[in-house]
Structure 1
């Protein structure tokens, strides 16, 4: 590689690293507890296996009515289902297309048509950690900023590989020059650890960036794949009427047999249209459970208007979300993700140390 090219890549690596290092440290530190969010949320809660008889459960619409009674004047936006107990979770708001900040969350036990006993409304400390990790508590602007930081991080990784490749070819991969100065040894360890964790860091950086684009990706999909099923794009949002949720689920599962429901999006929601209930069905395997099949059901008649398979970019988003936190392979994968997260903190810290310990003459030459 020519010296001029090497210097250009060195500048790219230095400045992309400096721009993202502080924020990546925040993301790495907040990401560590999020890997174990299920376990942390379960601290202090008795672990028990719940059993129930499906025939004794109240209907979905009765559960929805119980949740709406807690917030008079609200309308349903999403209905999700717990996997290990007969509890549905209604997300409601003043209107069907309400922003996330105006939404409220109400779990309802279908055995009693009431909120589950012993649960307090509202989120805990992990919700704050998630918001800090997702958007630095800055909302949508912060989410896009985190996405830009993710791209900067990927650029730093790629430029680091370009710079390390000539050294690896000459001295061998993972070589540490023990006879050199402390800064040189730190540089070799920085390159070694960065090279070992490169694949994981790229996966986490890219999936994190994809996750920050969930809103525009969903809007694109809604305008593309769902547009032909909507009858009136500018008309009023169809009103919820009792009985429609049970009918929608029953007809959707009849249209796509052998699948189970993950959630239902009501008219106006980002994952539906203005005149449909979108019933999202999932498979039974760990992989197919992440890839959803939406069935669009007429909000007025309950009849299936069509099945809208997810396009590739929505599949990428749905797969990126759990992969980012290692939610695929149980505790073993979570532990691996945690170790790699800690190692990435060492890489980020060592990179900052190397820049701060750069000889003053080199800095003056670079400034000139």
Structure 2
């Protein structure tokens, strides 16, 4: 590689890194507890657990009628309407019911209801409570909504540029050194430079995966709006002039109809009429598989909320599939405890890479200013000798 090309790549690496470093540090620091959000929620006592049943009943637990589940939740807040209800794959004994004053209420009321007895269990807090809620908002949008999400997406793209340019620079830098060399006997700055390069190349693939999936996740709101304006709009087109609903069909019967139409799939969540994932005239029943991967992929089944018949069902478009696949991969949710541990270790290593890069830039700036300050005090005739002497060291 020519010296001019090397300088160009060095400039790209320096400035792409510097612009995004502070924000990437924020994302790594807030992302670390989010890797263990389930465990932190359990530690802080915010996990919701279904009550134990008698041994003879637990062996073959009953399933409560969904209309009864809804009635139990609404009995707590009679003036609120149903927005969503969902069920986690690893907790089939609980229905998570969401009530609000209107279909887009941001101040909704979550209620956990026993899926076997239709009895209310509790009104749960977000996993981890206020701390985890703050970490999530900082990680997702820095409390700035969609502009914050898009800004972090741009920082993620800069991170990818910094990683690629760092790889280009790594080969000529390591030309005279063995892989993994950290020159402890040299200056502190040189030792940190070696450590920065070593950890950077070790975490290369992980950083690219997490960076790329993070960029995709920042587009979630935009992609959902595109889907709603295209696919969902086409699915509910026949109802654009329909009269408002006067009565609602049984939710339990609607779910049974959806499950019969999609054998081998389970209900992930149900969107009620008027919410962004349904229409004013439909239940949106979102089915998914029962495996670690397929449980992340949804298939919407629209059911007429007036008569309980299926009006449309189709696969999600590719861009929403990419979004759904990227979300658990971003936080290491696919492989259990060992994958979470690996993600945490690599996250910490990346924090060191980012911090050391910032340190090296600051030290280099101080050194350059010191050299510039000392230069006028040196006699012109002596400067070349000093320069050659410095190079030999």
Indicate the TM-score class for this superposition, using the shorter chain for normalisation: 0.7 to 0.9
8 Å contact kept, 1:13–1:155? yes
Distance in structure 2 (CA, Å) of the matches to 1:215 and 1:27: 19
SS of 1:174's partner is coil
Distance in structure 2 (CA, Å) of the matches to 1:145 and 1:183: 32
Q: Residues 179 and 85 of structure 1: is their aligned pair in 2 closer, same or farther, counting only changes over 3 Å? A: same
Distance in structure 1 (CA, Å) of the matches to 2:140 and 2:246: 32
Distance in structure 2 (CA, Å) of the matches to 1:316 and 1:240: 38
Match of 1:246 in 2: 252
8 Å contact kept, 1:237–1:268? no
1:103 aligns with 2:108: yes
Cα distance per residue 1:43-62 (max 9 Å; x no partner)? 26598895548774432122
What are the within-5 Å matches in structure 2 for residues 182-201 of structure 1?
A: 182-201=188-207
- Give the stretch that moved more between structures: 254-263 or 70-79: 70-79
Q: Residues 160 and 278 of structure 1: is their aligned pair in 2 closer, same or farther, counting only changes over 3 Å? A: same
RMSD: 2.9
Match of 2:10 in 1: 10
1:60 aligns with 2:63: no
Following superposition, the deviation at residue 255 of structure 1 comes to 0.7
Aligned length: 362
8 Å contact kept, 1:77–1:265? yes
SS of 1:351's partner is helix
Following superposition, the deviation at residue 93 of structure 1 comes to 2.5
SS of 2:294's partner is coil
TM-score normalized by the length of structure 1: 0.88
Cα distance per residue 1:150-188 (max 9 Å; x no partner)? 222222111211222322455454344455433222212
Distance in structure 2 (CA, Å) of the matches to 1:228 and 1:311: 13
8 Å contact kept, 1:74–1:94? yes
Unmatched runs of 5 consecutive residues or more in structure 1: none
Distance in structure 2 (CA, Å) of the matches to 1:359 and 1:205: 28
Q: Residues 15 and 290 of structure 1: is their aligned pair in 2 closer, same or farther, counting only changes over 3 Å? A: same
Cα distance per residue 1:100-127 (max 9 Å; x no partner)? x3333222223453421xx454331322
Cα distance per residue 1:221-262 (max 9 Å; x no partner)? 222322321126866896595543212211111111111111
Distance in structure 2 (CA, Å) of the matches to 1:240 and 1:176: 73
8 Å contact kept, 2:65–2:118? no
Larger Rg: 2
SS of 1:258's partner is coil
